[in-house]
């Protein structure tokens, strides 16, 4: 039998993994990449350290408009423990856990080692890397696939893996062309939106706190759509960022896209609940509001929250009226965060929405609409929270699509 030719479009996280597994399964593998190098998101990930995987997975934290059940089936096709073993033993990249965040990083703390390691392994397994090859069209052609390229002649392949990513951070090479190609082939594309992106406020009432960071619990709610997160919160000149804000930002983004931005963001600023603050704010000698709040909050934020509650930070606790104490506690445990916008795709770590999971076979990632067409990574309708979840998705779906494309059994 002649060797099966697999063309992988996009050398990001998912596509490079697909090329490794397609080539390992014996396919003649071409890895086409629009930029000059590929893997640019891997390079900038995790602040240049690449949070390659989570140390533990909570599947319920993934977001999709498709079936969560299908999403879980896809994820389980390559369990976390096997992914860790792949990176440590096949790629030769020991991983270390950051204890307070449960994130895994390469021990070298260098994202470049991940990107270069994957491309090197793909080449070693026999995949041919074609950088500067932007695919502009894809069409079935007598049982095979024909790929149109920008500035070069068409290519033919027995199977195609679409690993073109989403729309976030366009400078990394993702421009949505892949999604347009999938839509033109009759796939359902759920509306896309920026996710894991900072939230803005104009005017920014807390701009003076830019640079202040702390750990909070935050909930975003818009009608029936809700998201909660616990973790780092950062005040910026334009609004709010940090992992907890990014994790719930899609609810705000979508409320703007679909309506009038009616999502409400509420923050519990410390570990103390209402009863805890009742105790902490009991009158004690000449102790002031500011003095009590600063026990649990950064100084500038403590004073800003007191003022937001209409209470002068210098007031003695003994002078607080009951209604003032109640208002203050309300802000401390479920304070509403004023917001008006978001930083969009320019800063979004991922794209929400994308090709419906109902359109792929969960094991092989083959399209249910076209045989020989496989889809993986961020182009699909799923994303996870900060913490290595999005690479987990890219690696699992990339492997499945590569094996599927090669005709092997995942
Ligand atoms: C700043 C930042 C930090 C992040 N940090 C983390 C992290 O620490 N941990 C984590 O899990 N996730 C992180 N993410 C998310 C993660 O990078 C993505 O989820 C992941 O890279 C998606 O992989 P992908 O292969 O589907 O898409 P991409 O990595 O975007 O790759 C798509 C590739 O396809 C190419 N391409 C697109 N269209 C075409 C075309 N028509 N022809 C040819 N080539 C094409 C692009 O140039 C690109 O190389 C981060 C994202 C950003 C932006």
Pocket test of ligand 1: the residue of 115, 165, 351 to mutate, having most ligand atoms within 8 Å of its CB, is 165
Q: Which atom of ligand 1 is nearest to the CA of 376?
A: 26
Return the residue whose CA atom lies nearest to atom 26 of ligand 1. 377
Tell me, in angstroms, the distance from the centre of ligand 1 to residue 334's CA: 35
Residue nearest to atom 13 of ligand 1 (CA): 45
Q: Is 81 exposed, middle or buried (0-12, 13-18, 19+ CB in 10 A)?
A: exposed
Reported for 293-299, long-range contacts at CB under 8 A and 24+ positions apart, including other chains, are 293/332, 296/269, 296/270, 296/271, 296/272, 297/214, 297/269, 297/270, 298/212, 298/213, 298/214
- Provide CB contacts within 8 A for 2, sequence distance 6+: none
Ligand 1 near 304 CB (within 6 A): no
Select from 10, 18, 381 the residue to mutate for testing ligand 1; criterion: most ligand atoms less than 8 Å from CB: 10
Q: Is any ligand 1 atom within 6 A of the Cβ of residue 163? A: yes
Beta strand pairing status for 53-54 and 341-342?
A: unpaired
* pLDDT at residue 408, rounded to an integer: 67
Is this structure's pTM higher than 0.95?
yes
Of 185, 182, 194, 251, give the one whose Cα is nearest residue 223.
251
Dist CA 372 CA 376 (whole Å): 13
Residue 69 CA to ligand 1 center (angstroms) comes to 24
**Ligand 1 site-directed mutation target among 45, 54, 181, most atoms within 8 Å of CB:** 45
Query: Which residue minimizes the CA distance to atom 22 of ligand 1?
Result: 378
Q: What span, in angstroms and rounded, lies between the C-alpha atoms of 396 and 70?
A: 13
Indicate if ligand 1 lies below 6 Å from the C-beta of 9.
Answer: yes
Calpha distance 120→16 (Å, rounded)? 10
The pairing of strands 199-200 and 189-195 is: unpaired
343 lines ligand 1 (CB under 6 A): no
Ligand 1, atom 12: nearest CA belongs to which residue? 390
Ligand 1 site-directed mutation target among 19, 164, 198, 242, most atoms within 8 Å of CB: 164
Whose CA is closest to atom 5 on ligand 1? 45
CA dist., res. 401 & res. 337, Å (int): 42
Query: How close is the Cα of 98 to the center of ligand 1, in Å?
Result: 23
Q: What is the mean pLDDT of each run of 10 residues along the chain (410 residues)?
A: 91 98 98 97 97 97 97 97 98 96 97 98 98 96 95 96 95 93 98 98 94 98 95 97 98 92 96 96 91 96 96 95 96 97 96 98 96 98 98 98 85
Note the pLDDT of residue 177.
93
Residue 351 Cα to ligand 1 midpoint, Å, equals: 10
Nearest CA to ligand 1 atom 27: 165
Residue nearest to atom 6 of ligand 1 (CA): 45
Q: Which of 43, 11, 5 is nearest to 123 (CA)?
A: 11
- CB of 386 shorter than 6 A to ligand 1: no
Distance (Å, rounded) from C-alpha 87 to C-alpha 75?
17
- The pLDDT of residue 85: 98
Residue 38 Cα, ligand 1 centroid: separation in angstroms?
Answer: 9
Which atom of ligand 1 lies at the shortest distance from residue 348's CA? 53
pLDDT in the model for residue 409:
55
Mutation to probe ligand 1, out of 18, 34, 41, 351 (largest number of atoms < 8 A from CB): 41
């Amino acid at each position: 039998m002649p060797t099966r030719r697999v063309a992988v479009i996009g050398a990001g996280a998912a596509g490079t993994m697909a090329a490794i597994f397609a080539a390992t399964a014996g396919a003649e593998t071409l890895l086409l990449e629009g930029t000059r190098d590929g893997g640019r998101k891997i390079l900038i990930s995790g602040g240049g350290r690449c949070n390659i995987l989570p140390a533990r997975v909570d599947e319920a934290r993934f977001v999709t408009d498709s079936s969560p059940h299908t999403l879980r089936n896809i994820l389980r096709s390559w369990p976390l423990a096997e992914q860790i073993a792949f990176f440590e033993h096949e790629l030769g990249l020991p991983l270390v856990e950051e204890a307070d965040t449960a994130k895994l990083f390469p021990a070298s703390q260098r994202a470049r080692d991940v990107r270069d390691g994957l491309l090197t392994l793909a080449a070693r397994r026999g995949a041919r890397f074609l950088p500067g090859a932007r695919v502009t069209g894809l069409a079935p052609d007598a049982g095979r696939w024909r790929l149109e390229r920008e500035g070069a002649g068409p290519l033919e392949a027995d199977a195609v893996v679409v690993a073109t990513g989403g729309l976030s951070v366009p400078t990394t090479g993702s421009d949505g062309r892949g999604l347009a190609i999938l839509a033109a082939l009759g796939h359902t594309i759920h509306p896309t939106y920026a996710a894991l992106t900072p939230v803005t406020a104009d005017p920014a009432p807390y701009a003076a706190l830019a640079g202040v960071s702390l750990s909070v619990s935050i909930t975003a709610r818009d009608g029936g759509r809700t998201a909660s997160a616990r973790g780092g919160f950062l005040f910026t000149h334009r609004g709010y960022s940090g992992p907890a804000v990014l994790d719930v930002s899609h609810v705000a983004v979508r409320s703007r896209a679909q309506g009038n931005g009616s999502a409400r963001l509420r923050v519990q600023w410390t570990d103390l609940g209402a009863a805890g603050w009742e105790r902490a704010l009991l009158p004690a000698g000449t102790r002031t509001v500011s003095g009590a709040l600063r026990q649990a909050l950064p100084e500038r934020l403590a004073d800003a929250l007191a003022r937001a509650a209409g209470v002068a930070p210098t007031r003695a606790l003994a002078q607080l009226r009951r209604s003032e104490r109640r208002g203050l506690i309300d802000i401390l445990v479920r304070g509403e965060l004023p917001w008006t916008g978001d930083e969009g795709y320019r800063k979004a770590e991922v794209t929400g929405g994308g090709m419906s999971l109902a359109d792929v076979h969960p094991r092989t990632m083959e399209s249910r609409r076209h045989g020989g067409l496989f889809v993986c990574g961020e182009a699909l309708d799923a994303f996870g929270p900060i913490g290595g979840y999005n690479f987990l998705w890219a690696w699992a779906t990339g492997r499945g699509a590569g094996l599927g494309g090669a005709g092997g059994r995942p």
